[in-house]
Structure 1
Amino acid sequence: MPGGGFIKLPNGTVVVALTLPRPCPDGTGGNGKVRVLVHAVNRARALTRLRNLGMRAVYLRGNAEPPTPDEITAVLHHPDGLLWRTAPDRTAELWHPIRALLG
């Protein structure tokens, strides 16, 4: 089961962080996991943004792995508000735009 969590920001928006299996373009699943960050108006909208990108089975159950302060900063400073990197976190790896994962 994927892990994840969210945090509500002072302006009312949320940052959702999910640890998911790495998707493959052919739909067979991937090797390893990725940490995906989404900035949106609310949790439902964040999950909808991922589902609209083809990640149909994305759910957020609980708040076991909320985003860290560094993750929040990264997603807030990205124009798309959608980022990913391999999980577990590799501190040397930079965050990637979501299109690099799906393309």
Structure 2
Amino acid sequence: MAAGGFCKLPNGSVVVALNLPSPAADSPGSVRVLVHAQNRARALTRLRNLGLRAVYLRGNAAPPTPDEITAVLHHPDGLIWRTAPDNGVAAMELWRPIRSLLRQPTAPA
């Protein structure tokens, strides 16, 4: 079951955080995805448009931390990810753009 949550910002936009199973075949486990959008529905639509079809936000069990909010607000795409820690302790990994997670490996010609 994917944990997730959101935080409404003073300007009315939201940051949605979701822990999802990794869509990349070479990285098992889960990833933490952050999305900045005008509202929760648009945030989820952004993920669905990228191919993550079964993405839902139920509740607010794991809202984004202040550090996560800062990271996604400073990213030009407003859509980032990193490996989700298994033990609940914040990962020491850098945030990456979503296209690096969803990039399909090309077959050699």
The interval holding the TM-score normalised by the smaller chain is over 0.9
What does 1:14-93 correspond to in 2, within 5 Å? Answer: 14-24=14-24, 31-88=28-85, 89-91=90-92, 93=93
RMSD: 1.3
1:2 aligns with 2:5: no
Higher RCO (CA < 8 A, seq sep 6+): 1
Q: Deviations over 1:16-52 (max 9, x none)?
A: 0000000036xxx951000000000000000000000
CA contact (8 A) 1:21 1:30 kept: no
Q: Deviations over 1:42-72 (max 9, x none)?
A: 0000000000000000000000000000000
Structure 2 distance, partners of 1:30, 1:23, is: 8
Structure 2 distance, partners of 1:30, 1:84, is: 13
Structure 2 distance, partners of 1:31, 1:79, is: 27
User: What is the DSSP-based 3-state SS (H/G/I as helix, E as strand, rest coil) of the residue aligned with 2:94?
Assistant: coil
Gaps of 5+ in 1: none
TM-score, normalization by structure 1:
0.92
TM-score, normalization by structure 2:
0.87
Q: Deviation above 6 Å: which 4+ runs of structure 1? A: none
